[in-house]
Amino acid sequence: MGMWRFAAASVAGTAHLKSGSPCQDACRTEMVFSADKEELLVAVVSDGAGSASRAEIGARLACDLFVNEVRRAFQESDGWESLTKGFIAEWIGQFQLQIVLRASEEGLKSQDFACTLVAAVVGANRAIYFHLGDGALVESRRSEAGHYRCASWPQQGEYANTTYFLTDADAASKIVTVTADYAVDEVALLTDGLQAIVLDFRARSAHTPFFAPLFGWLRGAVSNSPAELSGPLAVYLSSEKVNARTDDDKTLILAVRSRG
């Protein structure tokens, strides 16, 4: 696994469990190496729209396509330059084309696959974040270890309780790109189901008492296996303590860089 240790889990909310609906969240985390051997953490979460009948498929496609295209960008070209020069607009175009084809095959509309995106590409001394819709990204800089800040905040649409989706015609103009020219040693990506628990909306900040213990657990874990670490995270997200505060699907990716 190299310099990074991570855990990732998507679990169905109690509302979906009661109705027999599938979890509409998805996530993916992978280590990618650039042509010049730089090790990169690539992480992405996607929240399928509750009103979209194939949202879970759209969310999975978004996560898989993002990781695959970032890998290609770093292995076949100057990855960092590619990511800052039109990558995300081109990527959204590819995603929407695949969705159009899938929808046509099934006699559906693109909106039936609606989903959000929160993604991160983190290198040795820089990172790039992409965000469309609700959800959030929280980071801890190496220079401010233990201080958690929300680098990407949930987006609200034109009307209350609405947001943006990758299937929207104007998605490329709505997506937020954040370039971090500093070393990030801890990062968390999450979907809408956890927002009320982990974010302070009055202060517009991350809730440190939530993140500090989880990052501490991940950093101190004996195992380096993502599968072994992700299991306990899924159990935690499905616990009564968490479900008492949200009945929505929940996704969380936690990643820490070795300080050794």
Residue type, 111: Q
Instruction: Return the closest-CA partner of residue 119 out of 111, 109, 129, 127.
Output: 129
- Which is higher by pLDDT, 157 or 142? 142
Does the pLDDT of residue 251 top 80, yes or no? yes
Task: Give the mean pLDDT of 124-129.
Answer: 95
Question: What per-residue confidence (pLDDT) applies to 160?
Answer: 54
Answer yes or no: are the C-beta atoms of 202 and 150 closer than 8 Å.
no
Task: Give the pLDDT confidence of 221-242 residue by residue, as tens digits.
Answer: 988 899 999 999 999 999 999 9
Tokens 């959800």: give the residue. Answer: 135
- Reported as a pLDDT band with limits 50, 70 and 90, residue 189 is very high
Task: Give the pLDDT confidence of 199-228 residue by residue, as tens digits.
Answer: 998 998 999 999 999 999 999 998 889 999
pTM: 0.95
In the chain, where the domains are located? 4-257
Instruction: Return the closest-CA partner of residue 25 out of 5, 8, 42.
Output: 8
For residues 249 and 120, give the distance between their C-alpha atoms in angstroms, rounded to a whole number: 21
- Reported as a pLDDT band with limits 50, 70 and 90, residue 173 is very high
Q: Per residue, what are the HEC states of the chain? A: CCCEEEEEEEECCHHHHHHCCCCCEEEEEEEEECCCCCEEEEEEEEEECCCCCCHHHHHHHHHHHHHHHHHHHHHHCCHHHHHHCCHHHHHHHHHHHHHHHHHHHHCCCHHHHCECEEEEEECCCCEEEEEECCCEEEEEEHHHCCCCEEEECCCCCCCCCCCCCCCCCCHHHHCEEEEECCCEEEEEEECHHHHHHHEECCCCEECHHHHHHHHHHHHHCCCCCHHHHHHHHHHHHCCHHHHCCCCCCEEEEEEEECCC
Question: What per-residue confidence (pLDDT) applies to 1?
Answer: 46
For residues 64 and 61, give the distance between their C-alpha atoms in angstroms, rounded to a whole number: 5
Task: Give the pLDDT confidence of 69-126 residue by residue, as tens digits.
Answer: 999 999 887 789 889 878 999 999 999 999 999 999 999 999 999 999 999 999 999 9
Question: What per-residue confidence (pLDDT) applies to 260?
Answer: 58
Instruction: Return the closest-CA partner of residue 13 out of 223, 205, 197.
Output: 197
Instruction: Return the minimum-mean-pLDDT range out of 74-78, 142-146, 242-246.
Output: 74-78
For residues 153 and 131, give the distance between their C-alpha atoms in angstroms, rounded to a whole number: 8
Question: What per-residue confidence (pLDDT) applies to 48?
Answer: 94
Answer yes or no: are the C-beta atoms of 177 and 121 closer than 8 Å.
no
Question: What share of the chain has pLDDT > 70, as a percent?
Answer: 97
Q: How many residues does the structure list for the chain?
A: 260
For residues 194 and 251, give the distance between their C-alpha atoms in angstroms, rounded to a whole number: 8
The CATH superfamily of 4-257 is PPM-type phosphatase domain (3.60.40.10)
Residue type, 160: A
- Which is higher by pLDDT, 77 or 65? 65
For residues 13 and 251, give the distance between their C-alpha atoms in angstroms, rounded to a whole number: 10
Does the pLDDT of residue 195 top 60, yes or no? yes
- Reported as a pLDDT band with limits 50, 70 and 90, residue 145 is confident
